[in-house]
C-alpha cells in the first residue's frame, strides 16, 4: 500500500458483512444496489462525526482545561495538542486524520459505484440524492481538513501553500500527494456545486445533506476564502429555502440541563463533534468569552452551566454532543457579515437584529443601530463568537481574521506556566500524524 491515509478502511468494512464478501481473488465486494450505497451514507458514526472539525475546536480558544483535568487526560497526544505542541499530537493509526479519510473513502465507494447503476424513472431522485450526499460529505471533509492542516486561503499564496491529499477514488494504490491550497478549495467548491444540483430541498432525515445545507457550506467556504460576494450569494440562496430560527424567548427552557432538541428547526445538516478535551467534565468556558454575554441575553443561561469552582461548562448542544453541522443561525451571521463588508448596512442590520431579537429577553432587547460599516462589522463578529461557540467554526475564524490583520493571540495556562500561540505561527497548521508522513513520503508542515 502506497499510503497510510486509508489504513484501517479494510477493518472498518470487514465488520459490515452487507458490503464485504470473501471473494476467491480476495477483492472487496462491490455495492451494487442503491440501498447499499445509501447505507454507507447513513453510517452516522462515520459520516456525522466531524473528525476534521474537532481538531480545530480542540485547538481553539472557546475553552480551557483546569490543570487537574489536563493531567487526567488518558492520552499524551490529547495533552500535547492542547498546548499546540510541534509533534506527536495524534495517536498513531487511530486518529482524526485517518478517521476523516475513512469518511472520504466511503464517499468514493459511493461515487465510483453509483455510476454503474442505471436508475429507472422511479429511482432517479434516489440516485441523485445519494450521489449528492457523497459529494457533500467529501467536500465537507476536505474543507475541514484543509482548515486544520494547511494555511488559510490567501489569494497571494494559495498556489504555493501546501493543501491536503485529495482522495478522489476508492483505489488504495494511488499515492497521496499534497496539492496546493487553491486546488483543494477548487475541488471543495466543485463537489458542493455538484451536490447542490442533486440534493433535495428537504432531507428525509437531517443526518443527510440537503440543498440548503450545501448552499450553507458553500457560503462558509467562500467566507473562509474572503470572497464575501459569493458568500452572500450562497447564504441568500440557502435562506430562501430555510431561514427558520428558534425563538429562545418562547420555544426553549433555558434553565434546562438540555435546552435544545437534536434536529431542531435551525439545523440544516446534523453533525457532531466529540473529543475528551471538550467533554463537559473536562472543559471550562473561557472566562472572557462568558463575560461577553449580558444578563438579559438568554444564551447566558441556555448555553452554560455553573460549576462548583466558579467556572462554567457548555451545555448548549444542538446535536448529541457539540454541534458540528450547518444551521440557520450561522446563515444570518454570514449574510450580516458579508453585507457589512460590502457596504450594505441595511441588510446587515436586518439579519443581525432578526437573530438577536430571538436571543434576548423580550423587554430588554434593543436593536443594533450602528450604521458605520466598520463598527457594525465588529459587533457582528462579536455576536458570531457568542452564537457559534463550540461548533467547529472558531478555528477557521481565528485563521481567516488573522490573515486580515486581527492579531488574535491564543493562550493556555497550566499552574504558573503560560503557553501562547501567536499570529503567524506555523503551528496554526497542525502537524500531520507522523506515521502518515513516514508511510506516504508527503512533506510535513513546518
What residues does each domain of the chain span? 9-60+68-257+321-440
Structure confidence by residue, pLDDT tens digits, 3-48: 333 333 433 333 333 322 223 333 446 788 999 999 999 999 889 8
Q: Choose among 194, 83, 198, 197: nearest CA to 129.
A: 198
Q: What mean pLDDT do residues 412-434 have?
A: 97
Structure confidence by residue, pLDDT tens digits, 160-205: 999 999 999 999 899 999 999 999 999 999 999 999 999 999 999 9
Q: Choose among 416, 410, 421: nearest CA to 67.
A: 416
Q: What mean pLDDT do residues 370-387 have?
A: 98
CA dist 195 → 129, 143, 212, 403 (Å):
8, 15, 10, 29
Q: Choose among 170, 178, 193: nearest CA to 145.
A: 178
pLDDT confidence bin for 93, thresholds 50/70/90: confident
What is the structure's pLDDT at 12?
Answer: 39
3-state SS assignment for residue 413: strand
Residues 6+ apart with CB under 8 A from 240: none
Structure confidence by residue, pLDDT tens digits, 63-76: 999 999 999 999 99
Pairing of strands 326-327, 267-269: antiparallel
pLDDT confidence bin for 53, thresholds 50/70/90: confident
What is the structure's pLDDT at 387?
Answer: 98
The β-bridge partners of 413 are 418
What is the structure's pLDDT at 318?
Answer: 96
Query: Long-range contacts made by residues 364-373, C-beta under 8 angstroms, separation at least 24?
Result: 364/296, 365/296, 371/345, 373/340, 373/341, 373/343, 373/345, 373/348
What's the chain's Rg over C-alpha atoms? 22
Structure confidence by residue, pLDDT tens digits, 274-294: 999 999 899 999 999 999 999
3-state SS assignment for residue 254: coil
- pLDDT at 422 exceeding the cut of 90: yes
- For the chain, what percent of residues have pLDDT higher than 70? 93
What's the CA gap between 292 and 309, in Å, rounded? Answer: 20
CATH node for 9-60+68-257+321-440: 1.25.40.390
* Residue 270 near residue 332, CB atoms below 8 Å: no
- pLDDT at 414 exceeding the cut of 70: yes
C-alpha cell at 249: 424567548
Structure confidence by residue, pLDDT tens digits, 133-168: 999 999 999 999 999 999 999 999 999 999 999 999
What's the CA gap between 406 and 399, in Å, rounded? Answer: 9
pLDDT confidence bin for 338, thresholds 50/70/90: very high
| Sequential DSSP letters for 382-406 | HHHHHHSTTSS-HHHHHHHHHHTT-
Q: What mean pLDDT do residues 400-404 have?
A: 98
What's the CA gap between 309 and 326, in Å, rounded? Answer: 33
pLDDT confidence bin for 50, thresholds 50/70/90: confident
Does the pTM exceed 0.75?
Answer: yes
Structure confidence by residue, pLDDT tens digits, 230-241: 999 999 999 999
Amino acid at each position: 500500500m502506497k499510503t497510510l491515509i486509508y489504513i484501517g478502511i479494510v477493518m472498518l468494512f470487514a465488520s459490515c458483512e452487507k458490503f464485504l464478501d470473501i471473494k476467491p481473488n480476495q477483492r472487496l465486494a462491490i455495492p451494487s444496489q442503491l440501498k447499499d450505497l445509501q447505507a454507507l451514507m447513513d453510517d452516522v458514526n462515520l459520516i456525522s462525526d466531524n473528525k476534521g472539525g474537532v481538531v480545530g475546536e480542540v485547538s481553539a480558544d472557546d475553552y480551557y482545561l483546569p490543570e487537574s483535568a489536563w493531567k487526567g487526560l488518558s492520552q499524551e497526544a490529547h495533552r500535547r495538542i492542547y498546548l499546540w505542541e510541534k509533534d506527536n499530537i495524534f495517536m498513531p493509526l487511530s486518529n482524526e486524520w485517518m478517521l476523516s479519510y475513512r469518511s472520504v473513502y466511503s464517499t468514493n465507494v459511493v461515487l465510483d459505484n453509483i455510476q454503474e447503476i442505471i436508475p429507472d424513472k422511479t429511482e432517479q431522485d434516489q440516485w441523485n440524492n445519494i450521489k449528492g450526499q457523497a459529494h457533500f460529505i467529501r467536500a465537507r471533509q476536505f474543507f475541514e481538513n484543509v482548515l486544520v492542516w494547511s494555511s488559510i486561503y490567501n489569494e497571494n499564496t494559495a498556489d504555493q501553500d501546501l493543501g491536503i491529499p485529495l482522495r478522489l477514488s476508492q483505489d488504495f494504490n494511488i499515492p497521496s500527494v499534497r496539492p496546493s491550497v487553491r486546488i483543494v478549495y477548487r475541488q471543495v467548491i466543485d463537489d458542493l456545486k455538484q451536490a447542490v444540483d442533486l440534493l433535495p430541498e428537504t432531507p428525509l432525515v437531517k443526518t443527510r445533506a440537503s440543498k440548503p445545507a450545501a448552499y450553507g457550506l458553500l457560503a462558509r467556504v467562500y467566507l473562509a476564502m474572503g470572497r464575501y460576494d459569493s458568500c452572500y450569494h450562497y447564504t441568500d440562496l440557502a435562506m430562501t429555502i430555510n431561514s427558520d430560527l428558534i425563538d429562545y424567548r418562547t420555544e426553549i427552557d433555558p434553565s434546562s440541563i438540555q435546552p435544545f432538541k437534536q434536529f431542531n428547526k435551525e439545523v440544516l445538516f446534523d453533525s457532531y463533534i466529540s473529543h475528551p478535551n471538550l467533554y463537559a467534565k473536562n472543559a471550562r468556558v473561557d472566562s472572557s468569552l462568558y463575560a461577553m454575554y449580558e444578563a438579559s441575553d438568554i444564551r447566558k443561561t441556555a448555553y452554560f452551566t455553573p460549576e462548583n469552582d466558579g467556572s462554567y461548562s457548555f451545555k448548549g448542544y444542538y446535536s448529541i454532543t457539540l454541534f458540528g453541522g450547518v444551521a440557520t443561525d450561522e446563515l444570518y451571521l454570514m449574510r450580516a457579515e458579508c453585507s457589512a463588508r460590502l457596504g450594505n448596512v441595511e441588510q446587515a442590520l436586518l439579519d443581525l437584529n432578526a437573530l438577536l431579537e430571538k436571543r434576548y429577553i423580550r423587554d430588554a432587547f434593543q436593536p443594533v443601530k450602528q450604521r458605520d460599516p466598520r463598527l457594525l462589522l465588529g459587533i457582528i463578529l462579536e455576536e458570531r463568537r457568542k452564537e457559534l461557540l463550540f461548533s467547529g467554526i472558531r478555528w477557521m475564524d481565528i485563521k481567516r481574521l488573522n490573515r486580515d490583520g486581527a492579531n488574535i493571540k491564543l493562550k493556555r495556562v497550566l499552574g504558573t506556566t503560560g503557553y501562547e500561540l501567536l499570529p503567524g505561527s506555523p503551528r496554526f497548521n497542525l502537524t500531520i500524524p507522523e506515521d502518515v508522513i513516514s508511510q506516504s513520503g508527503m512533506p510535513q508542515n513546518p
